[in-house]
Amino acid sequence: MADRINLVMKLNGEERSVNVHPFARLLDVLREDLRLTGTKEGCGEGECGACTIFLNGQVVNSCLVPAVQAQGAEVITVEGLARGGELSPIQAAFVAHNGAQCGFCTPGMLVAATDLLNRCPNPTEDEIRDGLAGNLCRCTGYSKILDAVQTAAADGASR
Amino acid sequence: MIGASSHRKEGRAKVMGTAIYTDDKFVPDALHGVTVRSQVPRGILKGIHFGGGIPWAEFTIVTAADIPGKNLVASVMHDQPFLVGIGEEITHMEQPVVLLAHSNRHLAERARLAVALEVEELPAILDIQASLDLEQVIYGTHNLLKEIRIQKGDPSKVWDRAAHVIEGEYFTGAQEQMYLETNAMVAVVEEKDAQTWVTVWGSLQCPYYVHGALKQLFGLPEDRVRVVAMEMGGAFGGKEDYPSVNGGHAALLAWKSGKPVKLIYDREEDLACTTKRHPSRSRLKTAFDAEGHLLALETDFVIDGGAYATMSPVVLSRGAIHAAGLYRCPHVKVHARAVATNTPPPGAFRGFGAPQSLFAMERHMDICARKLGLDPVELRRKNFLRLGDTMATGQVIREDLDLGGLMDRALAEIGYHDKRAAFAITNQGEGPIKRGVGFSVFMHGCGFTGSGESYLASVAGVEGLADGTVSILAASTEMGQGKNTVFSQIVAEALKLPYELVDVAEVDTDRVPNSGPTVASRSTMMVGRILEDAAIGFKQSLVQQGFLQEPYTPESFQVAVAKAVATLGSVKCYGQYHRPPNIVWNDSTYQGDAYPTFSWACYAAEVAVDLDTYEVKVEDFVTVQEVGRVVNPRLAAGQVEGGVAQGIGWGLWEEVTTKQGRMINNQMTNYIIPTSADLPRIQVVFLENAHPAGPGGAKGIGELPMDGPAPALLNALEGALGPLRLDEVPMTPERLLQRCEEVSHG
């Protein structure tokens, strides 16, 4: 078995190539090898959702994804949500509504919320609650996160 | 500025993913630290054996024998070693014994498992009763970490003449803070000019606690130790005292290896070894006259303090002072004890002893109402504290309190009376869903207990920067509660500047003074007040030295600051805590003003119980609180909503299961915290009543919301199901089923 393998992916719109341990987790490759530390580890077992990213358009817990599965894939992390320093509507809504308190669940929560609004542009409150139930937050009690997602949905609908 | 919902200062960095938390810090050539821990609850360490298959020569290994200074963690009492040495006593299952570091963290983890500890096991004490029974003496002469007695009048003279005497026993379980970011430290130790310089960056609430612990660990003077607080992914008290331990461990490995060390706990280690909420047992005895007036109250309050004192003496103190609730009562006796057990020491967690004793009191009041044949609303209304009343410590209520009005507002918001009447009918139906409403009324003391603030004598300041903006100098940390934002609002208000011209300095002990620990709902009220004074002093200095003329515009202020900095190099002004003259406290008798003031609240819950599964759904939750003037309504509401979510978790779901005193459900998979699908919208009402002690009239808010949910929920469960032995939290479905079976089996 090779010591390191070459991994190529399209990360936040850019082609990236990196040599990684063959059994590395995608989360560690992002954080340690590519130094994109926005994606967080909260539990390492797919419960908390802090490491949520897009892998080929699907949301995944990157702590449970072997890096080899990202070979040739398109990966989007929290760092890829803003464009040219301009916050995405959901990021801006999180700032406006205090959706981020300690901020540690926020990167994963933003990715999950982005995915939810992609799939369901005008969600009901229950649909938001279900859509974000895989992302734990210990600070907010979720109300301000719901406010932010509802605002982003309303803004999206008005455009 | 005060009263505006300004956006969080660090909000943009948090949503961009660019905020730097401890493990995000890029540290070239860092070693990865791991901790070898005891696997028995009690015994004498006889030997340490390094197993085969590991290149031990590549490892940095630290044992107790290596420690350069004192092997005791500086805390309330100095009784906990950083590492247990050969021949010394192991006192709990997670006790640190050996530290290892290697550049390959996977290898470091393998090496951890290859270390075997030779231990002569001793019998252990694992719960409150075994400790009180002195089955083994494991601490001092009576297993007592702390004992407190508070007395007002003499309840023993009342029992015989009272119309009603009602007793009850209540239990609360441990609770995990479950901050999303686990405990994490980075340490660098340098030898320069024949001196040792220790620097630690970490996820920590109290930089000067860690600073003090490192000084003692290495035997170094103040200026050779530096502690920097990184962005923090939640804490809730869980990073109040433990960072002195793991900060010391990281620094020891860095010192011995000569390299930077990262010590990052994974979730399982964090849950198993770090602090939790203290488990408690309360025995209450109350006497009432025929009309339901409270005549006497006696409480025996015991908390499980674990293997070392850590924060237990002060947790006990807050619990004891809150134990009698917010009722007027002429005869009160509180006996409070923190007992030692061979379990990992519990510590600070939002509420700090008050949620435990208030759970007992507020549950007991509903039980008393039932036994007296009174409505719980009316029983409370007869007994609320009012202006001029004295509390158990002799503290006189100097505010024009209207607790009845506060309670009525919460009951109106949730529709208490209508719902109670409606559920009384619908619950008689055949279906499995039974509904109930319940509430609790409670208070939380603002700031440190008793003389705490006087001992701290906190200092905070403001500094002018070259660009004319103002920077806040305080060791108070941001853990999500909004300190950066609220402090900036307070200083901007004092200086009549826009919010954007004020920000906080990095929390680095080389730069900021000791504004005290970020705990006890004290930052806004206590540190905020010092900052208000410092800001006014700063402005006066600018005026006196001719840089600024009043009245001024933000632009002219900015020009004046820039000019002052250019001329003088550095312009700073500090303020310090001063005890208000009317606040008096006696540490030995526990008499006097326990707190400068209290925040007051009534929380009401509506629940639906499914008698097929015994699941409890929280259908509605209303909070009404009086917290002085609210500095930032949106952030304050976030504090309340998050605190209530934790309180609901503690009341219904969050159970710490232990084996030999060690948490065995130490994963997010089987320790259940609320998700977005488990909670209702939490309604938040602030009744504003400016208090002179706080900046712009603000009081404390962070912990209050933890106190009310558990008793409100169990009172609501009694509303849904009728009289049951609802005496314990968490009231999990399993426990609720058992309580229901007790009734059906007589």
Give the count of beta carbons closer than 10 Å to the beta carbon of residue B672: 18
> Given pLDDT bands bounded at 50, 70 and 90, which one contains residue B746?
low
Tell me, yes or no, whether A48 and A102 share the same domain.
Answer: no
B184 touches chain A (CB under 8 A): no
* pLDDT at residue number B697: 86
Q: Which residue of A has its CA nearest to B669?
A: A47
Hey, are the CB atoms on B634 and A97 less than 8 Å from each other?
yes
Those residues whose C-beta lies under 8 Å from the C-beta of residue B744, and which sit 6 or more positions away, are none
> Given pLDDT bands bounded at 50, 70 and 90, which one contains residue B318?
very high
Those residues whose C-beta lies under 8 Å from the C-beta of residue B446, and which sit 6 or more positions away, are B521, B522, B525, B526, B595, B596, B597, B598, B599, B693, B694, B699, B700
Fold observed for domain B124-175+276-383: Aldehyde Oxidoreductase; domain 4 (3.30.365)
State percent of chain B over pLDDT 90: 96
Q: Which residue of A has its CA nearest to B270?
A: A43
Which range of residues forms the domain containing residue A76?
5-80
For residue B271, count CB atoms less than 10 angstroms from its CB and return exposed for 0-12, middle for 13-18, buried for 19 or more: buried
B673 touches chain A (CB under 8 A): yes
B11 touches chain A (CB under 8 A): yes
Interface mutation target, options A142, A144, A146, A147, chain B, most CBs of B under 10 Å: A142
B71 touches chain A (CB under 8 A): no
Hey, are the CB atoms on B17 and A102 less than 8 Å from each other?
no
Average pLDDT over residues B675-704: 91
Question: Using CA atoms, how far apart are residues A76 and A62, in angstroms rounded to an integer?
Answer: 11
Tell me, yes or no, whether A72 and A95 share the same domain.
Answer: no
In this complex, the residue of B5, B233, B267 whose CB is nearest that of residue A103 is B233
pLDDT in tens, B345-386: 999 999 999 999 999 999 999 999 999 999 999 999 999 999
Tell me, yes or no, whether A74 and A96 share the same domain.
Answer: no
pLDDT at residue B186 tops 90 = yes
pLDDT at residue A41 tops 80 = yes
Q: Which of B476, B446, B461 is nearest to B205 (CA)?
A: B476
Those residues whose C-beta lies under 8 Å from the C-beta of residue B487, and which sit 6 or more positions away, are B472, B474, B476, B504, B523, B527, B528, B531
Looking at domain B400-446+597-746, its CATH class is alpha beta
Last residue of a domain, one of A50, A80, A110: A80
Q: How far from B677 is each of B617, B681, B732, CA to CA, in Å?
A: 10, 11, 17
* Cβ–Cβ < 8 Å for B632, B701: no
* pLDDT at residue number B744: 83
- Give one DSSP letter per residue of B4-64, joined into a string: --PPPTTHHHHHHT---BGGGS--TT-EEEEEEE-SSSSEEEEEEEE-SSS-GGGSEEE-G
Tokens of B731: 């009231």
Tell me, yes or no, whether A104 and A72 share the same domain.
Answer: no
Question: Using CA atoms, how far apart are residues B688 and B626, in angstroms rounded to an integer?
Answer: 6
Tokens of B388: 């001029």
Tell me, yes or no, whether A117 and A64 share the same domain.
Answer: no
Average pLDDT over residues B563-583: 93
Instruction: For chains A and B, count residue pairs whose Cβ atoms are closer than 8 Å.
Output: 173
Residue with tokens 């929380």: B603
> A28-56 burial, b if ≥16 CB within 10 A, otherwise e?
bbbbbbbebbbbbbbbbebbbbbbbbbbe
Q: Which residues of chain B are within 8 Å of residue A22 when distances are taken between CB atoms?
A: none
pLDDT at residue B310 tops 60 = yes
Average pLDDT over residues A125-137: 98
> Given pLDDT bands bounded at 50, 70 and 90, which one contains residue B231?
very high
Hey, are the CB atoms on B642 and A101 less than 8 Å from each other?
yes
The counts of H helices and E strands in chain B are: 19, 28
pLDDT in tens, B45-60: 999 999 999 999 999 9
> Given pLDDT bands bounded at 50, 70 and 90, which one contains residue B497?
very high
Give me the CATH number covering residue A43.
3.10.20.30
Last residue of a domain, one of A80, A107, A126: A80
* pLDDT at residue number A158: 43
State percent of chain B over pLDDT 70: 100
Tell me, yes or no, whether A63 and A93 share the same domain.
Answer: no
pLDDT in tens, B260-291: 999 999 999 999 999 999 999 999 999 999 99
pLDDT at residue B527 tops 60 = yes
Average pLDDT over residues A110-134: 97
pLDDT at residue A159 tops 60 = no
Q: Which residues of chain B are within 8 Å of residue A44 when distances are taken between CB atoms?
A: 266-267
Tell me, yes or no, whether A11 and A75 share the same domain.
Answer: yes
Alpha helices for B481-553 (secondary structure H): 483-495, 528-544
Interface mutation target, options A143, A145, A149, A151, chain B, most CBs of B under 10 Å: A143
Tell me, yes or no, whether A55 and A35 share the same domain.
Answer: yes
Q: Name the minimum distance, in Å, from the CA of A88 to any CA of chain B.
A: 10
> Given pLDDT bands bounded at 50, 70 and 90, which one contains residue A76?
very high
* pLDDT at residue number A1: 60
Average pLDDT over residues B242-253: 98
Q: Which residues of chain A are within 8 Å of residue B232 when distances are taken between CB atoms?
A: 102
Last residue of a domain, one of A80, A113, A147: A80
Question: Structural domain tally of chain A?
Answer: 2
Interface mutation target, options B22, B180, B232, B264, chain A, most CBs of A under 10 Å: B180
pLDDT at residue B228 tops 60 = yes
pLDDT in tens, B626-675: 999 999 999 999 999 999 999 999 999 999 999 999 999 999 999 999 99
Fold observed for domain B23-122+178-273: Aldehyde Oxidoreductase; domain 4 (3.30.365)
Average pLDDT over residues A53-61: 98
* Cβ–Cβ < 8 Å for B426, B412: no
Write down the domain spans for chain B. Answer: 23-122+178-273, 124-175+276-383, 400-446+597-746, 450-576
pLDDT in tens, B718-735: 999 999 999 999 999 999
Q: Which residue of A has its CA nearest to B645?
A: A141
Give the count of beta carbons closer than 10 Å to the beta carbon of residue B465: 17
Residue with tokens 């600024």: B548
Greatest Cα pair distance in chain B: 84
Q: Name the minimum distance, in Å, from the CA of B149 to any CA of chain A.
A: 35
Average pLDDT over residues B187-216: 97
B479 touches chain A (CB under 8 A): yes
Q: Which residue of B has its CA nearest to A138?
A: B179
Average pLDDT over residues B118-141: 98
Q: Which residue of B has its CA nearest to A102?
A: B480
Question: Using CA atoms, how far apart are residues B683 and B624, in angstroms rounded to an integer?
Answer: 8
Q: What are phi and psi of B288, to 5 degrees?
A: -125, 155
* pLDDT at residue number B690: 78
ipTM score: 0.98
Tell me, yes or no, whether A59 and A101 share the same domain.
Answer: no
Tell me, yes or no, whether A107 and A46 share the same domain.
Answer: no
Interface of B with A in 596-655 (CB under 8 A): 634-635, 637-638, 641-646
Residue with tokens 């010092």: B530
Tell me, yes or no, whether A12 and A73 share the same domain.
Answer: yes
B181 touches chain A (CB under 8 A): yes
B142 touches chain A (CB under 8 A): no
Tell me, yes or no, whether A100 and A52 share the same domain.
Answer: no
Fold observed for domain B450-576: Aldehyde Oxidoreductase; domain 4 (3.30.365)
In this complex, the residue of A44, A45, A87 whose CB is nearest that of residue B15 is A87
Q: B731-740 long-range CB contacts below 8 Å, 24 or more apart?
A: B731/B616, B731/B651, B731/B652, B732/B652, B732/B653, B732/B655, B733/B613, B733/B614, B733/B615, B733/B616, B734/B614, B736/B609, B736/B614, B736/B616, B737/B614, B740/B611, B740/B614
Can you list the positions of beta strands (E) in B177-323? 184-192, 195-202, 225-229, 261-264, 280-288, 294-306
Hey, are the CB atoms on B24 and A129 less than 8 Å from each other?
no
Q: Name the minimum distance, in Å, from the CA of B464 to any CA of chain A.
A: 27
Hey, are the CB atoms on A79 and B669 less than 8 Å from each other?
no
Residue with tokens 């900060």: B247
Q: Which residue of B has its CA nearest to A126?
A: B677
Hey, are the CB atoms on A37 and B17 less than 8 Å from each other?
yes
* pLDDT at residue number A157: 47
Query: What's the mean pLDDT when you consider all of chain B?
Result: 97
In this complex, the residue of B11, B26, B180 whose CB is nearest that of residue A136 is B180
Question: Using CA atoms, how far apart are residues B486 and B314, in angstroms rounded to an integer?
Answer: 27
Hey, are the CB atoms on B676 and A135 less than 8 Å from each other?
yes
In this complex, the residue of A44, A77, A101 whose CB is nearest that of residue B266 is A44
